[in-house]
């Protein structure tokens, strides 16, 4: 009996050393372990029979003791415990039962059942979605979306048209510029410089003085050449309309186009006058024959009325009174502008020829007198603007005083008059000269 007790206590000490961190069994359980291990002359049971015996013993205990014994009997798990690698002290430690049980492999049959259930659920969701989509059918855009799409298409179409027109305009400008360059080269080869419609011999320019026009003047000459081309086209259309005896309503559109075209020339001159007034006053953009009748950068309105009187008939009494009043007021304005321009010339000449200019050593007085002369010369721009305004006003008043057909004949006669002046200049320059 003493030997048995000694064997059980030694066996129990070995178990406690092997499972160092486990709970120690109670006294009753240790006695039972000892008796079980020494059954049949010390022959050991296997682990399964030992567990069965222990659980039979635990059936007679209460609930609290069962819980305590189960906590203690976890030293014999049915699954192999995870053995951690030996620590630095050379001992072995076992992972707790909770970690071992959490790392048990999952049951493959339960995993297959769960995967099948998930696949079945996903298939049901897809089937329900497709069924609902089939029931709803294809959605048609509302009226607001359709209107917006139509507006986008229309805007894109207009943008393409504007781009095409802009490209065509650039191409036409390039062609026109190429033609002008060719004409300039041909004119220089013949010893003549063409500035718009003007003709000027390069031999008449003083040596050592830059006789080339400014950039603004050159631009005006090009625009004037374009204006002459457009004017010729309008006059051809107006002449055809008059010869076809179109109704006055249709003929009025051609006459209005001619008035607007003359207004465009007035605007062009207003721009160049501010940049280079001498280019307009000198008339270098016109032909030599036209410069003979030049008055403040253009024609005299009163002289044009005299020329056109023969093309206005028959006139009513009211029209005659209106035209006479217009001619008288135009002459008075021309005389006032001419007298102001004459006074400006005299004043400018007196300033230039003053005694102070005879002493160039007095530089301060010299520059002061030149500043005064420049201020007086700046008033020349105002005279040219007033003369252009008088010419424009005369054409507009004639347009309102005359009938549509009379105004059409007057514009044709005026265009023919200036055309003959330009032709006379060309013939004069092309005349045979003695050697």
pLDDT band at 328 (very low <50, low <70, confident <90, very high): very high
Query: Which residues on adjacent β-strands are paired with residue 192?
Result: 201
Mean of per-residue pLDDT scores for the chain:
74
pLDDT band at 350 (very low <50, low <70, confident <90, very high): confident
Domain ranges of the chain: 1-27+46-78, 212-429
Question: Tokens 């020349």 — which residue?
Answer: 380
Question: Tokens 């026009």 — which residue?
Answer: 213
Give the mean pLDDT of 122-136: 57
Distance CA 49, CA 26 (A): 20
Report the candidate in 9, 27, 29, 6 with the shortest Cα–Cα distance to residue 75: 29
Residue 426 reports pLDDT greater than 60: yes
Q: pLDDT per residue over 236-271, tens digit each?
A: 999 999 999 999 999 999 999 999 999 999 999 999
pLDDT band at 433 (very low <50, low <70, confident <90, very high): confident
Comparing 33-47, 288-302, 338-352, 415-429, the range with the smallest average pLDDT is: 33-47
> Chain-centre distance of CA 78, in angstroms?
81
CA dist list (Å): 272 to 198, 211, 288, 392, 396: 16, 18, 20, 17, 23
Give the mean pLDDT of 217-237: 93
Comparing 63-77, 310-324, 366-380, the range with the smallest average pLDDT is: 63-77
Report residue 430: phi and psi, to 5°: -90, 5
Report the candidate in 293, 270, 296 with the shortest Cα–Cα distance to residue 282: 296
Which tops the pLDDT comparison, 52 or 429? 429
Question: Tokens 């305004």 — which residue?
Answer: 389
Q: DSSP alpha helices (H): ranges in 73-107?
A: 97-102
Distance CA 138, CA 393 (A): 69
pLDDT band at 128 (very low <50, low <70, confident <90, very high): low
> Chain-centre distance of CA 366, in angstroms?
54
pLDDT band at 356 (very low <50, low <70, confident <90, very high): low
Handedness of CA 356, 357, 361, 364 (dihedral sign): positive
| Rg (alpha carbons) of the chain, rounded to whole number | 59
Is 266 within 8 Å of 384 (Cβ atoms)? no
- In this prediction, residue 189 carries a pLDDT of 59
């Amino acid at each position: 009996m003493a030997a048995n007790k000694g064997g059980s206590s030694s066996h129990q000490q070995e178990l406690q050393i092997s499972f160092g961190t486990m709970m120690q069994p109670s006294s009753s359980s240790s006695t039972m372990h000892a008796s079980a291990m020494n059954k049949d002359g010390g022959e050991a049971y296997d682990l399964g029979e030992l567990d069965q015996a222990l659980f039979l013993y635990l059936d007679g205990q209460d609930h609290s003791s069962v819980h305590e014994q189960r906590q203690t009997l976890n030293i014999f798990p049915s699954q192999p415990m995870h053995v951690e690698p030996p620590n630095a002290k050379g001992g072995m430690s076992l992972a707790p039962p909770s970690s071992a049980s959490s790392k048990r492999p999952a049951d493959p049959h339960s995993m297959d059942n769960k995967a099948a259930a998930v696949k079945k659920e996903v298939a049901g969701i897809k089937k329900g979605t497709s069924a609902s989509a089939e029931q709803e059918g294809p959605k048609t855009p509302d009226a607001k979306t359709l209107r917006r799409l139509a507006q986008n298409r229309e805007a894109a179409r207009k943008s393409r048209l504007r781009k095409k027109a802009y490209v065509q305009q650039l191409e036409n400008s390039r062609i026109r510029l190429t033609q002008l360059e060719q004409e300039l080269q041909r004119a220089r080869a013949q010893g003549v410089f063409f500035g718009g419609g003007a003709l000027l011999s390069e031999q008449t320019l003083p040596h050592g003085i830059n006789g080339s026009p400014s950039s603004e003047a050159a631009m005006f000459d090009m625009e004037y050449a374009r204006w002459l081309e457009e004017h010729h086209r309008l006059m051809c259309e107006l002449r055809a309309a008059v010869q076809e005896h179109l109704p006055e309503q249709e003929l009025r559109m051609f006459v209005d186009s001619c008035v607007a075209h003359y207004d465009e020339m007035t605007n062009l001159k207003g721009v160049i006058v501010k940049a280079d007034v001498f280019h307009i006053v000198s008339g270098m953009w016109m032909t030599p024959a036209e410069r003979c009748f030049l008055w403040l950068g253009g024609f005299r309105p009163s002289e044009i009325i005299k020329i056109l009187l023969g093309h206005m008939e028959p006139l009513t009494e009211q029209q005659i009174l209106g035209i006479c009043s217009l001619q008288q007021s135009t002459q008075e304005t021309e005389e006032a502008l001419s007298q102001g321009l004459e006074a400006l010339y005299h004043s400018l000449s007196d300033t230039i020829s003053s005694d102070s200019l005879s002493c160039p050593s007095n530089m301060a007085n010299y520059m002061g007198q030149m500043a005064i002369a420049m201020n007086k010369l700046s008033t020349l721009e105002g005279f040219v603007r007033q003369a252009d305004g008088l010419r424009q006003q005369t054409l507009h008043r004639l347009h309102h005083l005359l009938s549509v057909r009379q105004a059409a004949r007057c514009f044709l006669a005026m265009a023919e008059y200036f055309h003959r002046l330009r032709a006379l200049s060309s013939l004069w320059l092309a005349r045979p000269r003695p050697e």
